[in-house]
Structure 1
Amino acid sequence: MLNVNNIIKTLIILFSISFILYSQNTDRNNKTAFFSAIESGDIKKVRELIRNGIDINITDEYNWSALHRAVQFNKRDIVRELLLNKKININPILPNGAILENDGKKWYADGETPLLLASYYGYSEIVTILLNFGANILAKDNVDGAMAIHIASARGWTKTVLAILESYSAKNTKDIVNAVDNTGTTPLMWAAMNNRVSVMNLILKFGAYINAQDDDGWTALHFAAASDSYKAVEMLINNKANANIKNLDEKKPVDIASDTDIQALLNKYTKQ
């Protein structure tokens, strides 16, 4: 004789398993649809999925958050839509091993928040949106301890650097223009080593210390000279940079310059 209770228990278990599998499949489909909508800029679909309860802080198969992807694809309206949700984590970080590639050059992005990512791409409007919603202006990556202003300076995004410096967050943060990374390197130094003269001019107007030294005693002029950045060297000299400051190895900027034109220029301002 069949045991009715056992049959009922078996049916309940089978139903539960089926429901779990159905739910997992639905969640997986919604996740795929969510990230696809973000990439394509389909804000109606994004809103629909949010209304239907999708986790606003969900990550994709590469552990990138929805907010990171919206920034990466330069979808301003979707960035704003995500930020309007009270459950959003505005400062999620990219996983270790995250690499960005632009013009064949790799950029290690471990620990970057959406603000840092927007600064890398030079999306000044998104930077402003994120800061207006309270993104941490002092957030650092896990590579160099670089902040948004360091990254934007290194990349040469003048409008983005300006957006950061003119933000309410910057005005309420002590001396952001001279903020240092994990090795004491300032935004001016990051710009100098990459020959970003326009950014350097802007940063100096906002009060950057032209003769600041990093943990190894290097100044912006050292970095510019070592990077064969003639225009950066010239610009710093014209703004009264001290060519006689020595680093911890007792070397002046002229001592580490390999470009002969830079050496000739620096020799005019270096005491023998």
Structure 2
Amino acid sequence: METKSPNSLQESSTPSDTETTSGDGIQLLKAVKEGNIELLQQLLEGGAEVNFQDEWGWSALHNAVQCCREDMVNLLLHYGADPCLKKKNGATPFIIAGIVGNVELLKLFLSKGADVNECDDNGFTAFMEAAVHGEEEALKFLYENGAEVNLSRKTKENQKRLRKGGATALMDAAENGHADILKILLDEMGADVKARDNMGRNALMYAFRKSDNGNLVDIIPLLLYHGADVNVRGEKGKTPLILAVERGHLGLVQMLLEQEHIEIDDTDSEGKTALLLAVELKQKEIAQLLCNKGASTDCGDLVMIARRNYDAPLVKLLLSHGAREDGCPPVEDWKPQSSRWGKALEHLRRIYRPMIGNLKIFIDEEYKITDTSEGGIYLGFYEGQEVAVKRFSEGSTRGQQEVSCLQSSRVNNDLVTFYGSESYKDCLYVCLALCEQTLEEHFAACSGEAVENEEDVFARNVLSSVFKAVEKLHLLCGYTHQDLCPQNILIDSENAICLADFDESVKRAGEPQEIKRDLQALGWLVLYVVRKGEVPFETLKTKSNEEVIRLSPDEETRDLIRCLFNAGDNVQGHLNGLLGHPFFWSWENRYRTLRDVGNESDIKKGVFKSKIVQLLQPEKSECSRSFARWTSKMIHHTHNCCLGVHLSCSPLNSTREETVHCLVHC
């Protein structure tokens, strides 16, 4: 009999074939779930699809592992089951073996090619699953076979954007109350107690998520003994101390208060301290403990709350520790200057926060302006003034450089205003004027709004301010910026421009190369601003100087960029000269200049046939617009005109006679 090709038409699947396969597959899953190995073998011998998966991706092998049926697992593997087959959520038979804690199956799948650190789509490894479910033997076996103890959960990009993921096996064990697993991880496997997930939570916070109070009494001391951060924050800004108060557990509160660096007056995102919560929850013993440990009673209307609860002993306790009858000061009529950050500023002003010197700040996502390479920028109040607070680790070279540069340039109005700095808990807080947006954000918001043949006053004002800022930075402060870019040019609530971000600035020691780097960046910025951000700044940095100049829309811009790129050796004061460049002239000033240096006799005599008079003749009520015609008639043909030579070479050095000569003979 002739053998048919596997690709022949006769061998194609028909609907009845599909239905048969599906039916046999369902029977296969059912046989495993019911533990009927005889039926399982019969179906396999009858040709049932061994790797059939239901709508959730469960195969017979996944089910056999879940049921810890090693005999069924071996039978399925014998008939070709894929040992690395994944469910819809990415879980493999090996990971499921970690969940059920079956060491023999873990050993078997490792021999079949499983990766000891393989994970499902949510980032769970077999080791993590063993920690979640308290499977001690499986945990030890996996550790001995190379499982990474401190591996953090990796998630899909959409989940990562929501700050999901990042948890470790230690956090899993703490959350599920497995004190024995926790002890093994910490004492025997070197688990990192300082590790945090993508939301900044550590194992201490995870312990409060699901574990009951009984388990917490065993778990919390272990974590604290190994150095867990006691001031970490979780959901809604709550600290372990606040969570312990919410649970009403006096022993846990006492345990946490005994920690050397406990922040007893820390607040949650609603501005509530541990003491305020204890009063609200009528927890007199915990309130007394907190007061005895020095908790501030200036954190809300504590006495009023206690009176409302008819708790006279608590009222007496609070008054004895300095609480006021009118704990909340009267609400003042205050409106934020910032429209963009107004709502968050109002909330921050309203809630209680312990002061850091003259600074009120809350390190929370609600008040974050942006991320930085170190500690982020947050909203705050410095001496009552709304500010942007740039956060550094104490001793940071970048932080010290920022403060040093800002202190030397306090009189420079074109640089961001520096109010002061504070240090607290190994952090440096640099307080700056709060602005509405960056130059990059401005152009992103105004994309597509460019109008042809209109005077670009915004571009001229922005670049004039930046040039002045950099010039003063160089000459008066003795610094170079070294990071000039659209993100570091800020626009305040009154649309004023200022230069910011000096943590890469360099104190000059007579070396012109640093100045030239700033001038080069200014050249890119000129084109970026004139083209209204349509060419990304990072793209401009990759282009040659000739390409950047070629992209310029007009001769004035080309010449200004050329002057920046080719500054020569004498760079001191170079920007001061460029601030008089024709690029910075208004259209009206250009018109007046041309009028003044033109053929004066023709103008005075009204020789209307004169070329210069015709070129300078303004249209009715559109004096400044006439310059657009001037550029189209004269600048457009600069390659045939000696004026073009002056503009492209050294326009600032052209004599009056040369300019007049150009105007008359063009």
TM, length-normalised to structure 2: 0.31
Equivalent position of 1:188 in the other structure: 170
The total of aligned residue pairs comes to 232
State the alpha-carbon separation in 2 of the partners of residues 247 and 43 from structure 1: 51
TM-superposed CA distance for 1:81, in Å, is 2.8
Match of 2:124 in 1: 146
Q: Name the CA distance, whole Å, in 1 between partners of 2:22 and 2:243.
A: 55
**What does 1:83-98 correspond to in 2, within 5 Å?**
83-85=77-79, 87-95=80-88
Q: Pick one of 140, 143, 152 that aligns with 1:165.
A: 143
1:203 paired residue number: 185
CA positional deviation for 1:165: 1.7
Cα distance in structure 2, aligned partners of 1:60 and 1:52:
20
Distance 1:23 1:255 in 2: 62
Aligned to 2:232: 246
8 Å CA contact 1:243, 1:269 repeated in 2: no
State the Cα distance separating 1:62 from its structure 2 match: 5.5
Q: Render the CA deviation track for 1:188-226: whole Å, top value 9, x for unaligned.
A: 011111111111122221121122122222221222245
Deviation at 1:148, TM superposition (A): 1.8
User: Looking at both structures, which has the greater relative contact order when contacts are Cα pairs under 8 Å and sequence separation is at least 6?
Assistant: 1
Write the letter of the residue equivalent to 1:268.
E
Q: How does 1:1-272 map to 2 (within 5 A)?
A: 27=21, 30-43=24-37, 45-60=39-54, 63-85=57-79, 87-95=80-88, 110-142=89-121, 144-167=122-145, 170=146, 176-182=148-154, 183-204=165-186, 205-227=188-210, 228=213, 229-238=216-225, 240-247=226-233, 252-257=239-244, 258-259=246-247, 260=249, 261-272=251-262
CA deviations 1:231-250 (Å, max 9, x no partner) are: 11122223x22344534887
Aligned to 1:12: none
SS of the aligned residue for 2:204 comes to helix
User: What SS does the aligned partner of 2:182 have?
Assistant: helix
Query: What is the Cα-based RMSD across aligned positions, in Å?
Result: 3.1
Would the alpha carbon gap of residues 243 and 34 (structure 1) be closer, same or farther in structure 2, given more than 3 Å must change?
closer
Return the alpha-carbon distance in structure 2 between the equivalents of residues 243 and 22 of structure 1: 63
| Cα gap change, 1:42 to 1:225, in 2 (>3 Å) | closer
Q: Distance in 1 between matches of 2:84 and 2:31?
A: 21
- Which amino acid in the other structure matches residue 135 of structure 1? A
Q: Contact 2:170–2:185 (CA<8 Å) still a contact in 1?
A: yes
TM-fit CA distance, 1:79: 1.1
- TM-aligned CA deviation for residue 63 of structure 1: 4.0
State the shift of 1:88 in Å.
3.2
State how far apart, in whole Å, the 2-side matches of 1:133 and 1:139 are.
13
The one-letter code of the counterpart of 1:77 is D
CA–CA separation in structure 2 for the residues paired with 1:241 and 1:271: 11
Identity %: 25
Structure 1 Cα separation of the partners of residues 217 and 197 of structure 2? 21
In the alignment, structure 1 segments of 5+ residues that lack a partner are 1-15, 96-109
Q: Within 1, Cα distance between the matches of 2:23 and 2:232?
A: 60
Superposed displacement of residue 26, structure 1:
5.3
Amino acid at match of 1:181: R
Give the conservation status (yes or no) of the 8 Å contact 1:225–1:254: no
Equivalent AA in structure 2 for residue 267 of structure 1? L
Q: Give the Cα separation in 2 of the matches to 1:250 and 1:23.
A: 58
Partner SS state of residue 178, structure 1 = coil
Of Structure 1 and Structure 2, which has the larger fraction of its residues in strand?
Answer: 2
Indicate how the Cα distance of structure 1 residues 212 and 32 shifts in structure 2: closer, same or farther if over 3 A, else same: closer
Q: Pick which of 176-185 and 60-69 moved more.
A: 60-69
Structure 1-normalised TM-score? 0.70
2:131, 2:170 within 8 Å by CA — same for their partners in 1? Answer: yes
CA offset digits 1:58-90 (Å, max 9, x no partner): 2246542111121122211111232345x4322
Stretches of structure 2 lacking an aligned partner (at least 5 in a row): 1-9, 155-164, 263-666
Question: 2:238 & 2:197 partners in 1: Cα distance?
Answer: 14
